[in-house]
Structure 1
Amino acid sequence: MIIESLKSLYSRDLNKLKIEIEAYHNEASIWITDKNISNSGGNLCLHLVGNLNMFIGAQLGNTAYIRHRELEFSLKDIPQNELIEKVEATAAMIDSVLDKLTEENLKKEYPLEPLGYKMTTEYFLIHLFGHLSYHVGQINYHRRLLDI
């Protein structure tokens, strides 16, 4: 039951992420930072894609994804359509991985301790969803402030 809820919520917010990236009128604005805004919308998008592919894809789906976290914040000027493709591929990956999980899998301990303590897979999937939602909101605000 919770798996279907998680699938729906991840799908919803990854679609919101896609819509936010598509909504930039000036593609160059995706990469703008400001004195009080240190992460661009593009870098936050890359961060979300990397985070989800690492913690859901590689850890739960055995996708062999290798994360380069530092690049999530240092790469610039990736075309808007390429960011959208990355978001779509991430959404498809999550749907596929969650389809293979059982309620029993969710109750098991997550294989890593990225928050510094042991937790169930279910707990961490909920945490990751909150992280996704938080950064999608930041991207929305970034776009509305800096899309010139």
Structure 2
Amino acid sequence: MTGQRTFRPIEILMVEDNPGDVRLTREALKGGKVWNEIHVVADGVAALDFLRQKAPYEAAPRPDLVLLDLNLPKKDGREVLASMKADPLLKAIPVVILTTSQAEEDVVRAYNLNCNCYVTKPVDFEQFTRIVQAIEQFWLTIVTLPPHPGS
């Protein structure tokens, strides 16, 4: 074996203000095959503070993946995405937009802001669970995520 991988949980930051969607996502990921740690913040300002390790998130880990809702209080997901992709320290973190919006303008704008993929949340529980598990399967087992700076 040429490289040696240190096994650690995959760090996921979920930026979501709907407690029901957070609960469903946690449940869907709990049964998955990948050891993950999910961190949740409920607004865009908290998301950027978490990502930049500002108070009260000084000890926050760097996420391997961000699940980002668009419709958030304080600072919406579009603003969070734009800030992330403009920041040299954050722009390599993959961002999955996970939102109820099916508006074409939201899809186009998210991709223009360099999101990695756009997924519309289904309203049905079983479909929602399948979608989250498909995200996990693709992003956490198939895709090679960028290394953390300094690793």
**TM-score, normalised on structure 2?**
0.30
| Greater strand content | 2
Greater helix content: 1
TM-score (norm 1): 0.31
Q: Which has the higher contact order (CA 8 A, sep 6+)?
A: 1
